[in-house]
Amino acid sequence: MRMSGGTWRRAGPSPATELHPDDASTLLERQMDVLELLSAAAPLREVLTAIIASLEQMMPGARCSVLTIDAGDGTLRHGAAPSLCPAYLRAIDGLRPGPSAGSCGTAVHEGHAVLIPDIRIDDRWSDFRDAALDCGLVACWSTPIRGPGGHIVGTFAVYHGYPHEPSDRERRLVDRFTDIASVAIEHSRLIDEVVESEELFRRSFEDNPAGEVLCDLNRRVERANAAFCALSGYPAEKLIGTSIGSVLCLSADTEARIQLMLTAGGACVTRQSVVITADGSECPVEATVSVIRDRNGSPARLAFNVLDLTERLAAEAHRQAHREADVARQIAEEHSRAKSALLTSVSHEIRTPLQAIRGFTELLATLELGEERRHEALSRINTAADHLLGLVTDVLDISRAEANALPLRPERVELAGSIDEVVDLTSELAAERAVCVRSRLDDDEWVLADPDRLRQVLFNLIGNAIRHGRRRGTVMITSSATDTDVLVAIADDGPGIPEDLLDRIFTPFTRGIDAASEPVDGYGLGLMLSHGLASAMGGDLSAGNADSGGAVFTLRLPRAVDIRSRGR
């Protein structure tokens, strides 16, 4: 220990052997008393008062105090001072450290012990001199109390009522009691943190509106909050000691994820689950499982947070039902409009052949025609009647396809032969438009389909491709196969299908509309019927546009695999 300019610096703790044997024995007894108070979690002021009383007993004439640093604003606050008058304690409570803040404030500011033998003549006491003298205090030295990390947590001050400089014995005693005070302050801080942490946990656990359960690593319930008890219908005492799995259903996937967290770490697991309530009902919940680890990082407990999903799922179901009702209403309105448009279109198409039939019938009834003219009139009447019959048949087939009542006779059909037959039937139409129809097919592919309906579908698709493709253009027919299906793609080189029509081109009672908002021949009953026929035969029909332009219709049909070995 050395003095310099009215201050003395502690060179480091002196070994206990430097104390007089009587002092060492007394100090050991006082330390044991303090440790008993600490083990009993006595309040800090009570522990500090016992430390000060012990030092004052060993240093007759000395009056001591301990000030602690307020972690919030850094000021010095009254800790304990059983021998100092209240007026003086009020004067220095809240002292802010600085170069002229008495012995204690200056010691904290400079970071070392400060000795002032005579307060009456030292400028560092100018702000507190009167209060000290009124209390009969003339000399004071103060030693910073440091925490485990070396930071200052308070001061230990020794006062005398006369000018005084400490002896070596007094300095050694103050050193020892300052260390004891440091232990007491740090212990109190830790206790406060534990209490605060426990209270924070208690409030966040007990007052949480979501259900919470703490379990040991064997999934046995150790603690359940009020929200979980209310959700499950079980009182806490009934849950404690039982397996969480008896109340909260944990899937195999959840258990695997929990085990992974326990062994390899990782984030929490959140899964939708079910709580089996006391009355046997099931409550849908969202369960989040996390691992609580000890100070060494090892798993210690499992925490289950459970959120009741009953209201959320009910609200989602209500919204879904509302959306479905809106969609159904929109579809119904669209179908109603489409049916009206279809009826208008069909009535127009019916009117033309009816007028032809009526006209030629009147011609036969009113005029004497030669055999050739009479034969021509009858042929026109027959053609118009066939057209009407085909139109009515298509409309009826569409209705039956919608009702899943379309009669079919599925059998094994050679695909290439059916396509070649339809290409021959449409050759006249292709010649009129100078369209070249090409095919690249596997001659040994067989499908399971109704032969007549398959030809009807192919006739509609190839006919549409010829009509909507480029005049003097090309229609390409290709096929490919998977283990279970055969795909037929029919592509033209025309302008393609309008984007706004693609998603509804096969919708019943919808007709294609071109840029001039006029019905487009071929994008009507034929495609609707073809789509229904493909579905009825166990396949499907899709439409799209090729990257190079032009429409592409793809027909998928079930493959008759066992026919391949028989050949054509």
DSSP letter (8 states) at residue 15: P
Domain-embedded: residue 204: no
- Based on the domain organization, do 538 and 522 belong to the same domain? yes
Please, which residues have CB within 8 angstroms of residue 320's CB and are 6 or more apart in sequence? none
Domain boundary among 195, 228, 250: 195
274 vs 276: CA distance, rounded Å: 6
Strand order from edge to edge, sheet including 211-215: 221-224, 211-215, 299-308, 282-293, 269-276
338 vs 524: CA distance, rounded Å: 11
**pLDDT at 402 (0 to 100):** 60
Here the CATH number for the domain that contains residue 432 is: 3.30.565.10
Domain boundary among 402, 432, 449: 402
Strand partners, 304: 213, 289
**pLDDT at 135 (0 to 100):** 92
312 vs 293: CA distance, rounded Å: 32
Residue type for position 308: D
Domain-embedded: residue 81: yes
Here the CATH number for the domain that contains residue 369 is: 1.10.287.130
Rounded-to-10 torsion of CA 312, 316, 322, 327: 170
DSSP letter (8 states) at residue 306: E
**pLDDT at 388 (0 to 100):** 66
Burial of 279 (0-12, 13-18, 19+ CB in 10 A): exposed
Query: Could you count the other beta carbons within 10 Å of the beta carbon of residue 275?
Result: 21
**Alpha-helical regions (H) of 407-544:** 415-425, 427-432, 451-468, 499-502, 525-536
Domain-embedded: residue 541: yes
Per residue, the 3-state secondary structure of 148-203, as one string, reads CCCCEEEEEEEEECCCCCCCHHHHHHHHHHHHHHHHHHHHHHHHHHHHHHHHHHHH
51 vs 46: CA distance, rounded Å: 9
- pLDDT 10s digit of each residue in the chain, 568 long? 333 334 433 434 444 346 667 777 777 887 788 888 887 878 889 989 999 998 898 889 999 999 999 988 999 999 999 999 999 999 999 999 999 999 999 999 999 999 999 999 999 999 999 999 999 999 999 999 998 888 999 999 999 999 999 998 889 889 888 988 888 888 888 888 887 877 877 787 888 888 999 999 999 999 999 999 999 999 999 999 999 999 999 888 888 888 888 888 777 888 999 999 999 999 999 999 999 888 888 888 999 999 998 888 888 888 999 888 888 888 777 767 666 666 665 665 666 677 777 776 776 777 776 777 777 777 777 776 766 666 566 666 666 656 565 677 888 988 888 888 888 888 888 898 999 999 888 777 899 988 888 888 888 899 888 988 889 999 999 988 888 999 999 999 888 888 877 777 776 545 444 433 334 444 456 777 788 888 888 889 998 898 878 899 999 999 986 544 444 3
**pLDDT at 14 (0 to 100):** 41
Here the CATH number for the domain that contains residue 243 is: 3.30.450.20
Domain-embedded: residue 203: no
- Based on the domain organization, do 507 and 395 belong to the same domain? no
**pLDDT at 457 (0 to 100):** 87
Q: Which residue do the tokens 């603690």 mark?
A: 223
- Based on the domain organization, do 368 and 485 belong to the same domain? no
Domain-embedded: residue 201: no
- Based on the domain organization, do 353 and 262 belong to the same domain? no
**pLDDT at 394 (0 to 100):** 63
Strand partners, 7: 4, 114
- Based on the domain organization, do 183 and 263 belong to the same domain? no
**pLDDT at 531 (0 to 100):** 82
- Based on the domain organization, do 303 and 329 belong to the same domain? no
**pLDDT at 507 (0 to 100):** 64
| Tokens representing residue 384 in the block | 């118009």
Domain boundary among 353, 385, 402: 402
- Based on the domain organization, do 422 and 486 belong to the same domain? yes
Q: What are phi and psi of 228, to 5 degrees?
A: -70, -40
| Tokens representing residue 248 in the block | 């909260």
- Based on the domain organization, do 101 and 37 belong to the same domain? yes
496 vs 515: CA distance, rounded Å: 13
- Angle, alpha carbons 126-132-134 (nearest 5°): 120
Here the CATH number for the domain that contains residue 177 is: 3.30.450.40
Number of alpha carbons in the 13 Å side-chain half-sphere of residue 87 = 10
| Tokens representing residue 302 in the block | 């499992």
Burial of 544 (0-12, 13-18, 19+ CB in 10 A): middle
- Based on the domain organization, do 293 and 425 belong to the same domain? no
Domain-embedded: residue 35: yes
**pLDDT at 535 (0 to 100):** 84
- Based on the domain organization, do 287 and 436 belong to the same domain? no
pLDDT in tens, 70-119: 988 999 999 999 999 999 999 999 999 999 999 999 999 999 999 999 99
| Tokens representing residue 471 in the block | 């005049």
Domain coverage including residue 46: 2-195
Rounded-to-10 torsion of CA 175, 180, 182, 183: 150
Domain-embedded: residue 356: yes
Report the run of H or E that residue 395 belongs to, with start and end.
Answer: helix 371-402
- Based on the domain organization, do 492 and 353 belong to the same domain? no
Per the structure, the count of domains in the chain is 4
Q: How many Å separate Cα 82 from the centre of its chain?
A: 59
Strand partners, 277: none
553 vs 475: CA distance, rounded Å: 11
What does each C-alpha distance from 461 to 2, 388, 455, 475 come to in angstroms? 110, 21, 10, 11
394 vs 533: CA distance, rounded Å: 11
- Based on the domain organization, do 324 and 300 belong to the same domain? no
**Alpha-helical regions (H) of 207-305:** 226-232, 236-239, 252-264
568 vs 560: CA distance, rounded Å: 13
Domain-embedded: residue 215: yes
